[in-house]
Chains A and B, each alone.
Chain A
């Protein structure tokens, strides 16, 4: 696909999504009411079905406020045409106060099936069993990883991990409890790995991979010796230095690590395995046209930064289940050029947005 074809595909997909979400017969109450001037949180002064024809036209919406996602009714985000479908609600945040919610029917399955195509079968064998060492509870990730494993023909084992408790421990400064909780999570993982389940692939976060590898080493073993050949890693910030450290010192040459960037709103952006000759750069590409990532100016979020320059990450989600235009993420990164595999912009060097960095808590997981 060429860059122009990718852009045409994105614009065509956008028009379809706008028609779907803003048509009173099929659309989601939040957006239908916004267009009709009946939404107290957002009143649009234009008719999106008439005036939004290209991705660039999304600027008319201004910026999406994620605070709108707190509280109910959550159905307002879901198109009426899907109200008869079995629906999940996934939460993000919520250590204190009301969490942000997203309702989902099939999006997480579609996103992770698409992502599955990016995983090399040699390291993530079809039919292999997985271990999910990450957040459980009302999180998308647990079900999504399980579905990823299932769609590849395997069975997914899981641990219990409550990230809200982790954030509370850090805020209280209870570092001994934090360490104990991390050990509790790793204990669960090692128990599963030792139980003869023939697990070859794991999902985990950078900190938990550090802890898992460290514990295995203390016990005289390694991640490779546990039979693991593929690691799908995400959930928190991941630097090139960390991925290099993981490849060189925690995993060794026989294990493939697939870094991802994503969240409950967008789905997930894939990256090829970082290579030494490229300075272990991690460049993420969103699953366009279902979602798009832009890197915009810190001072002027209406303007893309030049390639190779730093800016704030802005996400747009365009699925039949959710329309989120121009959401300024809590992350920043470097704008990456399109590649042959992904003929649209990507982002590398993702880290907490400098405006919020001091308030972001990243702990055990």
Chain B
């Protein structure tokens, strides 16, 4: 059977602890993955500085070219994977088989990663606001207007504790290697595929293998990554985000609670925006933090909920290889049951109405996996418990709320698409600090502009602007 070892800065290490990765629908064992231990991560961090040192020997422009080459290798080449190799089609099948995502969505995520890698120059130009990237490499420089600047890397490596449920998140760490910062990846238990394949694509494209380490494992490995990498990203639930709030070493990515707000000036034309609303909830099977989980309107809310329910309610689970498959399977036993119970509990509250009820049972149980069918709940007030919920499937609430109460009621919102031409409401939205990505106009919450920072700029997280004065004789600008 295919064995995927721990990768200790490119050196394979077969652990005595092995996890089998199985197909969610058939139970077929697809691979065995070596499980690292926390001490291994701590010990290997002795070489973190070497990762950055080796990357700094390669000019950023060359790294950009390597990344572009890696984009094609990632999507087109048969690449080494542990004791075997993997074609792009095998990658798609394996990712679908373990995460439950339909294959066409896995392909879409591949294309998304390819796009980001291919556009890296523009993305870094945007994220650094046009900074000459050699300044990041050297640590200092002089701007065109003659002002000395200095950016200091806060860590030789970026640690990542990755999730299993949403392969889309990998776009966040793709710009790291061109920034000459090493990668310490802890893959999600059901999604080892992207980290390994992307690492191989980078290596085949010329990136030093000593710049990337991959540690599959349990919680102790994630904790070790966070403890020993001076800068890390972690993906998790609300509790994870709360735990790391205010910790400058960790950027925690959790549920997005992304929303569409319909302004009073536009809400009477809500039917024009139905496609935008449905796509925002449904695309990628509702798994992303950028998927919409709440649509807020001061009137017509029940009609809006009914119309979205009519579009999404009939959707049934289809085989993962079916190009029309819109629903991802829940591959972790008990997870779908737990979510279903929570929704049923919230629906006991007066004022919360299941608009998709008439389309049949929400929970569909299969032999080795479960599905949750799209669910739309109407809430007659923001006070309903359901109004603040987000789940890992096409789920949304349509909340009736006066416009002047919306911003104080919506809570933290990763992506907010506000459909309004009202200048005062627009101004209030721009000032709202609990909204991260703001779209003004009929824009899908899932439509990301990659030239914009996501939950804070990764460049600002990794580099600190600081004062730096120097004598031009002693230090060449």
Q: Does A214 make an interface contact (CB < 8 A)?
A: yes
A244 to B46, Cβ gap below 8 A? no
Q: Give the distance in Å from the alpha carbon of A19 to the alpha carbon of B39 in the complex.
A: 49
Q: Give the distance in Å from the alpha carbon of A280 to the alpha carbon of B17 in the complex.
A: 11
Contact segment of A116-124, A226-234, A235-243, A318-326? A235-243
A217 to B227, Cβ gap below 8 A? no
A239 to B17, Cβ gap below 8 A? yes
Q: Does B268 make an interface contact (CB < 8 A)?
A: no
Q: Does B348 make an interface contact (CB < 8 A)?
A: no
Q: Give the distance in Å from the alpha carbon of A27 to the alpha carbon of B361 in the complex.
A: 61
Q: Does A165 make an interface contact (CB < 8 A)?
A: no
Q: Give the distance in Å from the alpha carbon of A244 to the alpha carbon of B40 in the complex.
A: 11
Q: Does B37 make an interface contact (CB < 8 A)?
A: yes
Shortest distance from the beta carbon of B451 to any chain A beta carbon, whole Å = 34
Known contacts A175-B223, A175-B226, A175-B227; is-contact A244 B16 (Cβ 8 Å): yes
Q: Give the distance in Å from the alpha carbon of A179 to the alpha carbon of B247 in the complex.
A: 14
Q: Does A40 make an interface contact (CB < 8 A)?
A: no
Query: Which of B37, B46, B227 has the most chain A CB within a 10 Å cutoff?
Result: B37
Q: Which residues of B contact A176 (CB under 8 A)?
A: 247
Shortest distance from the beta carbon of B294 to any chain A beta carbon, whole Å = 27
Q: Does B457 make an interface contact (CB < 8 A)?
A: no
Q: Does A173 make an interface contact (CB < 8 A)?
A: yes
B42 to A241, Cβ gap below 8 A? no
A245 to B39, Cβ gap below 8 A? yes
Residue in A closest to B227 when the chains form the complex, CB atoms:
A179
Q: Give the distance in Å from the alpha carbon of A245 to the alpha carbon of B36 in the complex.
A: 10
A236-287: which residues lie under 8 A (CB-CB) from chain B?
239-242, 244-246, 249-250, 279-280
In terms of DSSP, what is the predominant structure of the interface of chain B?
helix
Shortest distance from the beta carbon of B228 to any chain A beta carbon, whole Å = 9
Known contacts A239-B17, A240-B16; is-contact A210 B227 (Cβ 8 Å): no
A285-324: which residues lie under 8 A (CB-CB) from chain B?
none
Residue in A closest to B42 when the chains form the complex, CB atoms:
A214
Residue in A closest to B243 when the chains form the complex, CB atoms:
A173
Mask: chain B, 294-331; 1 = CB below 8 Å from A; 0 = not: 00000000000000000000000000000000000000
Q: Which residues of A contact B38 (CB under 8 A)?
A: 207, 210
B135-160: which residues lie under 8 A (CB-CB) from chain A?
none
Tally of chain B residues near chain A (CB < 8 A)? 17
A76-108: which residues lie under 8 A (CB-CB) from chain B?
none
Q: Which residues of A contact B345 (CB under 8 A)?
A: none
Shortest distance from the beta carbon of B391 to any chain A beta carbon, whole Å = 20
Mask: chain A, 151-177; 1 = CB below 8 Å from B; 0 = not: 000000000000000000000010110
Known contacts A175-B223, A175-B227; is-contact A239 B37 (Cβ 8 Å): yes
Q: Does B52 make an interface contact (CB < 8 A)?
A: no
Q: Which residues of A contact B40 (CB under 8 A)?
A: 245, 249
Mask: chain B, 241-281; 1 = CB below 8 Å from A; 0 = not: 01100010000000000000000000000000000000000
Mask: chain A, 187-218; 1 = CB below 8 Å from B; 0 = not: 00000000000000000001100100010010
Q: Does B342 make an interface contact (CB < 8 A)?
A: no
Query: Which of B16, B223, B226, B243 has the most chain A CB within a 10 Å cutoff?
Result: B16
Mask: chain B, 201-227; 1 = CB below 8 Å from A; 0 = not: 000000000000000000000010011
Q: Give the distance in Å from the alpha carbon of A179 to the alpha carbon of B223 in the complex.
A: 11
B23-51: which residues lie under 8 A (CB-CB) from chain A?
35, 37-40, 42-43, 46
Residue in B closest to A218 when the chains form the complex, CB atoms:
B46
Mask: chain B, 50-62; 1 = CB below 8 Å from A; 0 = not: 0000000000000
Known contacts A241-B35, A241-B37, A245-B37; is-contact A210 B42 (Cβ 8 Å): yes
A240 to B39, Cβ gap below 8 A? no
B39 to A250, Cβ gap below 8 A? yes
Shortest distance from the beta carbon of A269 to any chain B beta carbon, whole Å = 21
Shortest distance from the beta carbon of B384 to any chain A beta carbon, whole Å = 29
Q: Does B15 make an interface contact (CB < 8 A)?
A: yes
Q: Give the distance in Å from the alpha carbon of A280 to the alpha carbon of B15 in the complex.
A: 11
Known contacts A239-B37, A245-B39; is-contact A217 B17 (Cβ 8 Å): no
Q: Give the distance in Å from the alpha carbon of A250 to the alpha carbon of B44 in the complex.
A: 12
Residue in B closest to A281 when the chains form the complex, CB atoms:
B16
Q: Give the distance in Å from the alpha carbon of A239 to the alpha carbon of B42 in the complex.
A: 17
Residue in A closest to B43 when the chains form the complex, CB atoms:
A249
Q: Give the distance in Å from the alpha carbon of A249 to the alpha carbon of B39 in the complex.
A: 10
Q: Which residues of A contact B226 (CB under 8 A)?
A: 175
Q: Which residues of B contact A240 (CB under 8 A)?
A: 16-17
A241 to B46, Cβ gap below 8 A? no
Shortest distance from the beta carbon of A58 to any chain B beta carbon, whole Å = 34
Q: Give the distance in Å from the alpha carbon of A153 to the alpha carbon of B283 in the complex.
A: 71
Q: Give the distance in Å from the alpha carbon of A176 to the alpha carbon of B227 in the complex.
A: 8
Query: Which of A179, A207, A210 has the most chain B CB within a 10 Å cutoff?
Result: A210
Q: Which residues of A contact B39 (CB under 8 A)?
A: 206, 210, 214, 242, 245-246, 249-250
Residue in A closest to B35 when the chains form the complex, CB atoms:
A241
Shortest distance from the beta carbon of A173 to any chain B beta carbon, whole Å = 4
Shortest distance from the beta carbon of A357 to any chain B beta carbon, whole Å = 10
Q: Which residues of B contact A246 (CB under 8 A)?
A: 39
A129-146: which residues lie under 8 A (CB-CB) from chain B?
none
Q: Which residues of A contact B42 (CB under 8 A)?
A: 210, 214
Q: Which residues of B contact A250 (CB under 8 A)?
A: 39, 43
Residue in B closest to A246 when the chains form the complex, CB atoms:
B39
B227 to A239, Cβ gap below 8 A? no
Q: Give the distance in Å from the alpha carbon of A249 to the alpha carbon of B15 in the complex.
A: 13
Q: Give the distance in Å from the alpha carbon of A301 to the alpha carbon of B15 in the complex.
A: 32
Q: Give the distance in Å from the alpha carbon of A173 to the alpha carbon of B219 in the complex.
A: 14
Q: Give the distance in Å from the alpha carbon of A244 to the alpha carbon of B247 in the complex.
A: 34
Q: Which residues of A contact B15 (CB under 8 A)?
A: 241
A279 to B43, Cβ gap below 8 A? no
Besides the known contacts A175-B243, A245-B37, 6 further A-B residue pairs in the complex with CB atoms under 8 A apart: A175-B223, A217-B43, A240-B16, A242-B39, A246-B39, A280-B16
Going nearest first, the 7 A-B pairs with the smallest beta carbon separation are A210-B39, A173-B243, A241-B16, A241-B17, A240-B16, A242-B37, A241-B15
Between A and B, 19 residue pairs with Cβ closer than 8 Å are A175-B227, A179-B227, A207-B38, A210-B38, A210-B39, A214-B39, A217-B43, A239-B16, A239-B17, A239-B37, A240-B16, A240-B17, A241-B16, A241-B35, A241-B37, A245-B39, A250-B39, A279-B16, A280-B16
